[in-house]
Amino acid sequence: MTITTTDTGLGSHHVIEEPESRTFRVRRTAMTSQDVFEAERERIFAHTWLYLGHESEIPDKGDYVRRPVGGRPLFMVRGAKTGEVNVFHNTCTHRGAAICRADKGSQKVFQCFYHAWTFDSEGELKGVPGEDAYVDEIDRAGLALQKVRTESYRGFVFVTFDPEIEDLTTYLAGARQYLDYVVDAMNGEVEVVPGTNEYGFDANWKLLVENSIDGYHASSTHDTYFKYLQTLGTDLSIGVSGVTKDLGNGHAVLEYRAPWGRPVASWEPLFGEDSKEEIAQLKADLVEKHGPEKAEMMTEINRNLLIYPNLVINDIMAVTVRTLVPTAPDRVEVTAWEIAPKGELPQLRQRRLDSFLTFLGPGGFATPDDLEALESCQQGFSSGGVEWNDISRGMGRAAQATDEEQMRAFWRRWRDQLDTTN
């Protein structure tokens, strides 16, 4: 479908905010239109920082992981000479074949299987079979593997396809402090747990952005999960209370107190009596190091953090890192990892693993129901009889955990980026 935007930009055509009447609406074609999907690729995904992976995934020289980012095939390798994290477009500079052909591993030399050119882990072109056929000397520098602009913040590696945009730290704005909570609570020793969740479903990616930071749907959609928690002995009577915030640049957070414990220094009976003391010690250490206020934030408060446009970090019973990549207006691919402190007590690690897979995993007691909800929204959009989604909840008041201010933060940034025509 073609969208005519004569007097407004593509973003403003889809997002209408009216503070006087406290309404915020998103036109449903934002989730269905091919034009919007293509504009997102060009105006958002090519001009933001996108999460690729964690430095701890490639601890040693030559270690690599291969994965697409924003739909482009990349690989990240720790350079054998410099020890730096290099990210390359995963395509041979000769005629295009994939250079890195496994999802992870370790090697210092990458040989293209097509005509056997070789590159080292810094991207330099090393070997060209039959090089004397190039009558003038071959342009080795020009034919090196193409680097992607890469920066990392406290171990989280991001890339961008825009050479012009601000540095990563500035880009992260208010979200930086929340990454600090995660990393400091793990004493800076973060590892990615083996095992990746890679799934997909038939809905627009922005529905999953909304869902990942939506406190309003929890009790209605996830009734069976809360039942399960009760079976385990969790007392749900205190309920969930908190706030939602705009963190700038489209980043947003939902943060709340909840009845369940946290493996970082908030004990509950499920963790077992034998871990009570260690958890108290962990907490005492954090209080000493960071002061009571920050320690309280790190240990007692749960949060669902959105780093615009497509990274979600849930810092709850377990810490999850997930990216959402659109492949069509009505299709999204999710990749999720679990991060945890290195050298954690086995019983705490076990609780963390259990929490992740029972709540957030695609075989768990909650995520499948989210997928069902989002696919049913997407199907509902095709009715065409209803033009707008309403995202006004909590407008005009200090936004609470079940309000929608955090989603409005995302949509405002989305609107502004889609209005640009770079």
**Kind and range of the H or E element at 420?**
none
* Nearer CB in complex with Fe ion: 63/370: 370
- Is 373 among the residues that bind other proteins (CB under 8 A)? yes
- Is 363 among the residues that bind other proteins (CB under 8 A)? yes
Contact string (CB under 6 A) for ligand FES, positions 81-100, x = contact: -----------x-xxxx---
397 binds, among Fe ion, ligand FES, other proteins, none (CB under 5 to 8 A by kind): none
* Nearer CB in complex with Fe ion: 48/211: 211
In eight-state DSSP terms, residue 311 is: E
| Residues paired with 125 in a beta bridge | 119
Please list the helix, strand and coil fractions of the chain in percent, rounded to the nearest 5, in that order.
Answer: 35, 30, 40
Using CA atoms, how far apart are residues 306 and 254, in angstroms rounded to an integer? 9
Instruction: Show the 3-state SS of 314-377.
Output: EECCCEEEEEEEEEECCEEEEEEEEEEECCCCHHHHHHHHHHHHHHHCCCCCCHHHHHHHHHHH
In eight-state DSSP terms, residue 29 is: G
- Closest among 135, 153, 127, 165 to 48, alpha carbons compared: 165
- Is 368 among the residues that bind other proteins (CB under 8 A)? yes
The label of the residue with tokens 């749907």 reads 217
- Is 370 among the residues that bind Fe ion (CB under 5 A)? yes
Is the dihedral angle over the CA atoms 55, 201, 332, 229 positive or is it negative? negative
Among 114, 162, 202, 281, indicate the residue that binds ligand FES (CB under 6 A): 114
Contact string (CB under 8 A) for other proteins, positions 178-217, x = contact: ---------------xxxxxxxxx----------------
- Is 117 among the residues that bind ligand FES (CB under 6 A)? yes
- Is 18 among the residues that bind other proteins (CB under 8 A)? no
346 binds, among other proteins, ligand FES, Fe ion, none (CB under 5 to 8 A by kind): other proteins
Using CA atoms, how far apart are residues 184 and 176, in angstroms rounded to an integer? 12
Total number of residues binding ligand FES (CB under 6 A)? Answer: 10
373 binds, among ligand FES, Fe ion, other proteins, none (CB under 5 to 8 A by kind): other proteins
Provide the residue type at 13 as one letter.
H
CB of 103 to ligand FES, least distance (A): 20
95 binds, among Fe ion, ligand FES, other proteins, none (CB under 5 to 8 A by kind): ligand FES
Contact string (CB under 8 A) for other proteins, positions 100-139, x = contact: ---x------------------------------------
Per-residue tokens: 394: 């909590």
Interface region with other proteins, contact rule CB under 8 A, candidates 5-13, 41-49, 227-235, 413-421: 227-235
* Nearer CB in complex with ligand FES: 95/227: 95
Q: Within 13 A of 312's CA, how many CA atoms are on the CB side?
A: 26
**Kind and range of the H or E element at 268?**
none
- Cβ-based neighbours of 288, under 8 Å, separated by 6 or more: none
* Nearer CB in complex with Fe ion: 86/406: 406
Q: Within 13 A of 61's CA, how many CA atoms are on the CB side?
A: 10
Binding site for Fe ion (CB under 5 A): 370
Binding site for ligand FES (CB under 6 A): 92, 94-97, 112, 114-117
